Chains A and B, each alone.
Chain A
Amino acid sequence: MQRWMQIVITHPRGVAAGVGTEEAKAEYDIVPDELERLIAPSGSLSGLERISIYSEMYTLRLLDVLREDFSVLLNALGERRFEALARDYIAAHPSRHPNLNQFGRHLAGFVASRDDRHAAFLSELATLERAASEVFDAERAAALSRVELEGLAPESWPRLRLERVPATRVLSFRYPVNRYYVDVKEGRGPRIPKPAPSFALVYRKDWIVWRANLSREQHALLEALATGAELGAALESLSAREDLDLARLQRELAGWFREWSAEGVFRSIG
């Protein structure tokens, strides 16, 4: 009974369509007119109308979750296209976790697979919004303070291993996604941008989620450190990268670490 009911109330075209699927018929081989063999009518509603209440609530509930978690994607697509996308996503990736904050975790990949000329940009936008949700829910960890960082002996820096706290994400995009996000949030009604590489750090400070633009050099360094490499080895690994301004990297490195430690990006050492 439960398998049958789940199939019919989660069918994207409603209960009557769900009852007619092979999957549902494998459980109960009935047609919609025979539904009352399973679902009793009330004084005012048929069996079909009664079970349809659950079907409608199922979709609306999950649509609301996606609208809330991907509000900038919603803005980019408009209500009609977003709802079509969300309904397809609900059918393709039904919720499997007790906490609804996990529901949107496959949306960026799903958007990327769509036949849409802006799919690459929209997928990156979904990636940024999903990263914000993940950072919101990430485990708390003691962060390396600026004072702690400045207290380190200069000779110890090359051997330093810096691990980011769980509430951080370092992202690389083909489009200026964070700029678009800010423009939407500040009500500027931006157009879908042309490709232009961009990099972002999503992090949490005082329980608020922030997004910071990164330079290509900052992104490369954070990614190198994320491999577990010591700082000296991480810098060495970047020395052959022709796309990086290595002089800038050397010049600004200390300032970056002061900034990142002030924002609580790295775990406390020891």
Chain B
Amino acid sequence: MSTVASNRWNLPDLGIGVALRAQHYPHILARWPQVDWFEILSENYMATGGRPLWILDQIAERYRIVMHGVSLGIGGTDPLDWEFLRELKALAARTKAVWLGDHVCWTGVAGRNSHDLLPVPYDERTLRHLVERVRIVQDFLERPLVLENPSTYLAFSRSTLTEQEFIRRLADDSDCALLLDINNVYVSSRNHGFDPREYLDQMPWSRVVQVHMAGHTDHGTHCIDTHMGHVRQEVWDLYAEAMRRGGRKPTLLEWDQQIPDFETVHEEALKALAYLPSEGAKVAS
């Protein structure tokens, strides 16, 4: 599937995709399953010249690839890592990535990397900082950066904006694209006590080029975005709400812990088809 989607860059509707993981390489290389597209974790194919890159080259010859990273640190206060950005751009050219992105977060400071998606305070000063960095990165990459709303487990006392206000203004002011992770909206709504439907009401839908779905772990007092297990029904319900508001969006399933066989993951992803509105349905912008 590859039709034109309702976003301001006319990026295509890729259909239903699956996050590419090493456990599934043998199945994919042996069967070449019918999958609309794959999303790769960018860093897994950087600083390596080994087997993962060789496999990725073969997969990129047959499928559409989207790149999704975790180490850009767009919200960080260290200078931008130009070596990292050059490698990212080269990988995007190599895989003919349809788009590439990362998260609204920081990952480390003073040269360190926590390998986590750490939250930023939602205030005017942080917003200005991110807008400037997103513009610089987009100029370098020569394409819109696709930024994902993170799942967060804390809130800063100094925040003056809601997450959805922050992300909407970040996208408008920097002219970046958005990846809306529905599971993250749900997880953060539980952790911070906001209404996830009000969050969706404020999404600038013409900037949303992709949606993520995943499982999470509910600890009662809080939820963790573990990417483990099936997508919970309440998250599918929220996905249906999102599709009603924003129209059909390329949708991808992430499954990163206790990863089952490829067919189980793909079947879980394809459940999204039941919630998609018909093409041409009227949507918000």
Chain A residues in the interface with B (C-beta under 8 A)? 1-3, 5-6, 9-10, 36-40, 42-45, 47, 49-51, 53-54, 57-58, 61-62, 94-102, 136-140, 166-167, 204, 207
Contact A39 B155 (CB under 8 A): yes
Tell me whether A50 and B154 are in contact in the complex, defined as CB-CB below 8 angstroms, given that A94-B112, A99-B47, A136-B51 are known contacts.
Answer: yes
- Please tell me if the beta carbons of A53 and B51 are within 8 angstroms of each other in the complex: no
CA distance A9 to B51 in the complex (A): 34
- Residues 100-156 (chain B) with a chain A CB within 8 angstroms: 106, 108-116, 118, 121, 153-156
Residues of A within 8 A of B153 (CB): 50, 53-54
Is B82 an interface position by the 8 A CB rule? no
**B224 at the A interface (CB under 8 A):** yes
**Contact of A98 with B118 in the complex, beta carbons under 8 Å:** no
Chain B residues with Cβ under 8 A from A51's Cβ? 154
**Min CB distance, A148 to chain B, in Å?**
22
Q: Is the CB of A167 within 8 A of B50?
A: yes
Task: State in angstroms the CA–CA spacing of A139 and B46 once bound together.
Answer: 11
Could you say which residues of chain B place their CB within 8 Å of the CB of A53? Answer: 153-154, 222, 224
Q: Are B54 and A42 in contact (CB under 8 A)?
A: no
Tell me the complex Cα distance, A99–B44, Å.
Answer: 7
Q: Is the CB of A42 within 8 A of B113?
A: no
The docked-state distance in angstroms from the alpha carbon of A10 to that of B108 is 10
B48 contacts the other chain (CB 8 A): yes
Query: Residue A40 contacts which of B50, B76, B118, B154 (CB distance < 8 angstroms)?
Result: B154
Residue of B nearest to A100 (CB): B115
Contacts of B278 in A (CB 8 A): none
Give chain B residues whose Cβ lies under 8 Å from the Cβ of A204: 50
Question: Quick check: A3 and B46 within 8 Å, CB to CB?
Answer: no
Judge whether B258 is part of the interface by a CB distance below 8 angstroms. Answer: no
Q: In whole angstroms, what is the CA distance A19 to B49 when docked?
A: 41
B191 sits at the interface (CB 8 A): yes
> Bound complex: CA of A62 vs CA of B121, how far in Å?
25
| A98–B51 touching, CB < 8 Å | no
A39–B156 touching, CB < 8 Å: yes
Find out whether the CB atom of A136 lies under 8 angstroms from the CB atom of B47. no
User: Complex: how many Å from CA A60 to CA B6?
Assistant: 41
Is B71 at the interface (CB under 8 A from chain A)? yes
Q: State A213–B84 Cα separation when bound (angstroms).
A: 37
Closest-by-CB residue of B relative to A166 is: B49
Distance in angstroms from B59 CB to nearest chain A CB is: 15
B233 within 8 A of A: no
Chain A residues whose C-beta falls within 8 Å of the C-beta of B191 in the assembled complex: 42
- Chain B residues with CB under 8 A of A10: 112, 114
- Contact yes or no, B112 A102, CB < 8 A: no
CB distance from A3 to the nearest CB of B (A): 6
Contact A2 B106 (CB under 8 A): yes
Q: Please, how many angstroms separate the alpha-carbon atoms of A99 and B156 in the complex?
A: 29
* B116 engages A54 (CB within 8 Å): yes
Residues of chain B in range 256-271 having any CB-CB distance to chain A below 8 Å: none
